[in-house]
Every structure is written in C-alpha cells, then in structure tokens.
Amino acid sequence: MMADTGSEEIAVIGNTDLTPSELENNIKNTMVEKGATLLKRMEINVAEAEKRTGKNAVSMQETYTVYLIETRAVDPSSEGANPAPPDSLWRRYSEFELLRNYLLVTYSFVVVPPLPEKRAEFVWHKLSADNMDPDFVERRRVGLENFLLRVASHPVLSNDKIFYSFLTQEQGWKEVVFETGFQAKSDSRLKALNATFRVKNPDKRFAEMKHYGDELQSVISQLLRVRARVADRLYGVYKVHGNYGRVFSEWSAIEREMGDGLQSAGHHMDAYAASVDDILEEEEHYADQLKEYLFYTEALRAVCRKHELCQFELEMAAQDLTSKKQQREELATGTVRTFSLKGMTSKLFGQETPEQREAKIKTLESQIEEGEEMVKDKNAESEEFVKNAWVDIERFREQKDRDLKEALISYAIMQISMCKKGIQVWSNAKECFSKM
C-alpha cells in the first residue's frame, strides 16, 4: 500500500487517557521505534464494496456504494498463531467525507490526507467516467483504504478518538461527531478561508509554501493530462499492430511458400495487440498516485490559508489595541491627534464633563486590558500554529518526495515491461520471417 512505502509509522490507537506531554512522548517513541514491535498495532483495510439502495433525506430512492472496513488488533506475542477474525463495519463515501471535514477543522495545522476523487477525471477514452463502473469503484476502494492508512500513520491524527470510533463504532458514530460541535467551526472556517483579506506581515515561509503548493498543483495537472494522452496513444499503437495480424493473414492466403511464415507472424501481432489492456490497467495506478498528491495540494493550501487567517486576526487585534490606546491617550491629554467625528462634535458642541471623560477612560482601560490579553493569546496561538504546521509541512514534503519518486519508478518499470514485450513479439515474428 502506498502509505506503507518507506514509512513505519503506525500509531498507537486507543489509549487516550494520556496527558498531552505523555502523548507526545508516546508519539516520539513510536517514531523512534520504527520497525520495532509496537504496543498496540492495528491492521486496517477496506475489503469490499457493495451496492445498496435506500431512501435518502428527501425520501427518494437512491443507489449508493458502501465499503467494508476491517480492523484487527495485532498482538505481537501471538504472532505465528492463527490471527483472530477481524472486526468490520460498512461505511459510505459521505461518512468518509464527514470524518475528513472533522479532521480538517480540528487539526487545522495538519496537511490532512485527501480522499479519492468523487467523480472520475483525467480519464483517457477507454476508461469510463461512470461512478458505478466496477473499475472505478474498485479504484475508489483502494483510495479509501489508502486514506485510512495515511491517517492511521500520521503522528497527530492517528490518536484522534473520532477516527478510532470511525473504524470501530458502527452505530451512532455520526451523532458522536456532531456532538463535538465541529460543524459550527467548519462553517466559520469555510467562510474565513474564502474571504479575502490582506495580511500586513505574512510569514515568508508560508507565502513560499502556498506558492509551492500552487505550482505543484499545476505541474501535477499537466502530468495527469500528458499521461492520459500517452495511455491513449499507446493503446492505439498496440491495436494498430492487430492490423498487421489481419493483413498478414489475408496475404498468406495468396502465397504458396511464404504463407506459413506470414500466418504465424500474424498470430504474434494479434497476441501483442491483445496484451495492452492489462498493461494499461496497471498503469492507472500511476495516475491514482498523482491524483492523491493533486488533492494534497489543496490541503497544503488550506494550512497556509489558516496561517494567514491567524496572522490576520492577530494583526486586527493588535491594531484594535493600538487604536484604543491612542484614544485613551487623547482623552487623557486632551489632544486630538487624529481627526475623528467625535473630536469634531465635541469641539463643536462643547467638551464633555470630567466625569464623562473619566468613565470613558475607565471603559477604554478595561478594553485595553482585554485587548492585551487577546493579543497575547493570538500571538501564542499563532506561534503554536506556526510551529506545529511547519513540522507537519516538513513531514509532508519528505513523504511527497518519497512517494512521487516511487511512482515514477513504478511507471518506469511498467514502461520497461512494455519494451520487453515489444522485443519478444518482434523477435518471434523475425523467426517466422526468416523461415519463409
């Protein structure tokens, strides 16, 4: 599975009574103990997909697909003995989406792994874009399993309770999620992410990272487009070889001595033409790996955006504080530094009484106190966010390099096997020709 390539980080699941520092320690231990036996290890896989029909929210009949999630706790001491049967439950795609949204909101500093695409895109002509197509469903099943494994191997996400119950609690999981109240946060998050605002002092690293994410997205889109064209053309090349088969066969009918040689060469061509379907099935895997990273760029962008939001809120709070301090100063010293309507009206209509002024100053001072708290909090929040986000972004980058390199290697391997097949077919044909 993709998520396991090169990474031995499988989380400790289930023990949520630890304090944050102990938790962190545990995670550190997990990461240190790569390859070694872990305390608790869980096998996860999405075993099957099934079609169901049922009534939806508006009481209409609909057909949807459910996926079987199997989990099994692996006890290292019992290795070698027969493994216990796995626990299992069925989930549909929308539940996966719900889980992911929850994670996005709750861990906004994490580049959250993406789900496989909802609708087939970047297809080359032979593949269908139909969601109910068995090949598509199968590839989606693989994608969902990959998602779960990525989350389960993430140092932060894997410890989440909601995630654990997604895997183990069939009934009532949805309610548990909504009870966390994440929905409200989700809505405001969406709003904030889509809003336009200008940050005065953006963190350079995040600005660069956002730019990098945009570039990565554009490059991967290009790659996917080109790959689809390659698949199309290769398919054509193979099938045209089938034409050789037919013409050799027709021609052998009018020849005497050359007939046999031509006929057998023709058969080799036919076999070659037929072999393309399997090859291109396999090649879809490369496209799926690319697509995962295409969707990852959105998650990366979201983290950068969240940082901007934090920064913006911090700047707003600081600005607010400054202006309040200024107002206090003006009231205290009686000097009007900045033009304000209040200032003008008080000049025109007479100044306030000292009591009024005192009251105002008192209000301002409590506001300033609050404001200073706010700025301190926001600052801390922002620093915390930056620290955690940067850790995760580094982790993500290393994972991306590893995975994309692997993807290219397996694409090269596939190309190699295609070349070898080509050599074999033409060597066979050559032998037939030399006997003519």
Nearer to another protein, 251 or 295 (CB): 251
Closest contact distance (angstroms) between CB of 232 and another protein is 9
Which residues are paired to 81 by β-bridges? Answer: 79
Closest contact distance (angstroms) between CB of 221 and another protein is 10
Nearer to another protein, 65 or 428 (CB): 428
Closest contact distance (angstroms) between CB of 231 and another protein is 10
Closest CA to 398 of 41, 16, 31: 31
Q: Give me 99's structure tokens.
A: 């889980």
Nearer to another protein, 62 or 250 (CB): 250
Closest contact distance (angstroms) between CB of 406 and another protein is 9
Nearer to another protein, 12 or 223 (CB): 223
Closest contact distance (angstroms) between CB of 305 and another protein is 21
Nearer to another protein, 227 or 306 (CB): 227
Nearer to another protein, 124 or 164 (CB): 124
Distance, in Å, from the CA atom of 235 to the CA atom of 230, rounded to the nearest integer, reads 8
Burial of 390 (0-12, 13-18, 19+ CB in 10 A): middle
Closest contact distance (angstroms) between CB of 237 and another protein is 5
Nearer to another protein, 91 or 210 (CB): 210
Interface residues with another protein (CB under 8 A) are 215-216, 219-220, 222-223, 226-227, 229-230, 233-234, 236-237, 240-241, 243-244, 247, 250-251, 254, 257-258, 265, 293, 397, 400-401, 404-405, 408-409, 411-413, 415-416, 419-420, 422-423, 426-427, 429-430, 433-434, 436
Closest contact distance (angstroms) between CB of 206 and another protein is 18
